[in-house]
Amino acid sequence: MPPTKQLQALGQSLWLDNIARDLLSSGTLKRYIDELSVTGLTSNPTIFDHAIRNSAAYDEPIREGLRRGKTGEDLFFDLALEDIRSAADLFRPVHERTNGVDGWVSLEVSPLLAHNTETTVDAAWTLHRRAARSNLFIKIPGTSEGLPAIEESIFEGIPINVTLLFSLKRYVAAAEAVLRGIERRIDAGLNPNVDSVASVFISRWDVAAANKAPPQPPEPTRRRNGKPRLFRISVAARVGAMAAGAELPAVSRIQEDGMKILGFDRPLYILPFDHRHSFQTQLFRWSGALNSEQTAQVAATKQVIYDAFKLAIGSGVPENRAAILVDEQFGRNILIDARAHGYTTACAAEKSGQAEFDFEYGEDFADHIEAFRPTFSKVLIRYNPRGNGALNQRQAGRLHRLSEYLHNHSNSFFMVELLVPPEKSQLEQFNGDVKAYDRQLRPPLMVEAIEQLQEAGVEPDVWKVEGLDSRRDCEEIVAVARKNGRDKVACIVLGRGEDEPKVREWLRTAAAVPGFIGFAVGRTSFWNPLVKLRASRITREQAVNAIARRYCEFAEMFDGHACTA
């Protein structure tokens, strides 16, 4: 086994402190990743300067940049960003496989900004947005002026690599800056899940300590393994306080015994567009397997909904209450962008258009969840407790497996969308009147379904349920969802594609009941605008505005927040 693989087996990560276009184009970097277990890459202006000076690979891009009027740092960052994007794409599988622990690349802000806090923040934001890679760290020096820039950048949701740390004091100061940024995000109701790393220049310490440290460190030092024990205690205390006293959208709360606390009980307003089968067969009227062009068209249509979601946040829907639900098949890039922006996300884990629940990606379901690390992993299940017993048992078994995985091995919360379709005999009791079934029989069946699934070991943090006409029915659903110590488990009401008046009625009823924390209304919000857009009856901008306005109206009706969309 190569020494680098042995190093990885011991739990160490090997990041390459080098980048050059030849390294990328020749396949050398990919070989380092595949054969030598290199799991990340860092760069700095000096490394890029050396690469550009010593390689003809940059000559033509430089000439092209000059023809476009680019000079100096503008031209430099055009070249650097192209290399960084390529490197980030090579490390993307590592990033996904390690749940974001590894697979990072780093790009440093201009050294000319080292003593200017405001321009450093602006540069970090600009570089990260231009790179458009979620596995990119922006390097900021840990100077006195850099510390507030680090804090502000973390608050803005930008992953940061703190560089130029030459002492324990500077390292502690940098860590404190990162924590302040995270605490500010929590206070603002934002997702605290912003990654960071500190680059401590150990070689400088080796030189400074040469001939000064004893051959054998004192016993207390050896027991600490070189780590600042007091600092670890202070950081642990602050992280504990943050977890105990703040709402953490994407980090599951942990009890003192290390077990996750079941439930999610803060407001949650979801714009869901994880529909796949209905998009393909009803909106686009396609059948069979889609080709790449068709897949891109569906993805572009879902981008319209995502743009509406962002517009709604800018128009007054509170970001800490807003969320999207989208699928990986057509919404991969949306999930990546949403996580980079710190939005609350949910990702569908079930196959679409199926009568029986099963995993979209089979035995690889966990890998696909952790590739995106959504706030919620969501499944839809059609489950009538008085229906087909064998079917129910199979579905409950799969749900239990997912429940166990999410609660024991993942940071994602568990969301179950429960539909209780009528059996033929049940519908006959009401002479085929579905609305009568919805009013009279579906509510007690929903209670039974939740009880049966709980008994099967299915423990969602949030139940996503069909709308209910009476407050009493809503209260009974909350009571069963929260029974036997499940005090923080919550419910949200879904739209089920109903017309707007009916959805508004359901939202008004649910909003008045403690335990119903929000809604997930999709087709009622976006279907008509998308149909009109497909028929060229409205523009894309009009479609975005219409969807945002409807989502805003539902949010405002649920909790009274004013919205201007």
Q: What CA–CA distance (Å, rounded) separates 506 from 341?
A: 31
What 8-state DSSP symbol labels residue 58?
G
Query: Crossing angle of helices 117-131/146-155, nearest 10°?
Result: 40
**286: phi then psi, degrees, rounded to nearest 5:** -110, 155
Q: What CA–CA distance (Å, rounded) separates 16 from 94?
A: 14
What 8-state DSSP symbol labels residue 279?
I
Q: What CA–CA distance (Å, rounded) separates 214 from 201?
A: 21
Query: Crossing angle of helices 72-97/45-53, nearest 10°?
Result: 110
Q: Helix, strand, coil shares of the chain as percentages rounded to 5?
A: 55, 15, 35
Quick check: helix, strand or coil at residue 117?
A: helix
Residue 501 CB neighbours (<10 A): 8
Active-site option among 5, 70, 139, 169:
139
CA 335, 196, 161, 142 torsion-angle sign:
positive
Reply yes or no on whether 139 is catalytic. Answer: yes
The single-letter code of the amino acid at 366 is: A
How far is C-alpha 545 from the chain's CA centre? 25
Q: What CA–CA distance (Å, rounded) separates 350 from 47?
A: 46
Quick check: helix, strand or coil at residue 41?
A: strand
Q: Which two tokens stand for residue 420?
A: 């209780």
Residue 287 CB-density burial (10 A; 0-12 exposed, 13-18 middle, 19+ buried): exposed
Q: What CA–CA distance (Å, rounded) separates 128 from 110?
A: 13
**42: phi then psi, degrees, rounded to nearest 5:** -125, 155
Give catalytic residues, as residue numbers. Answer: 139
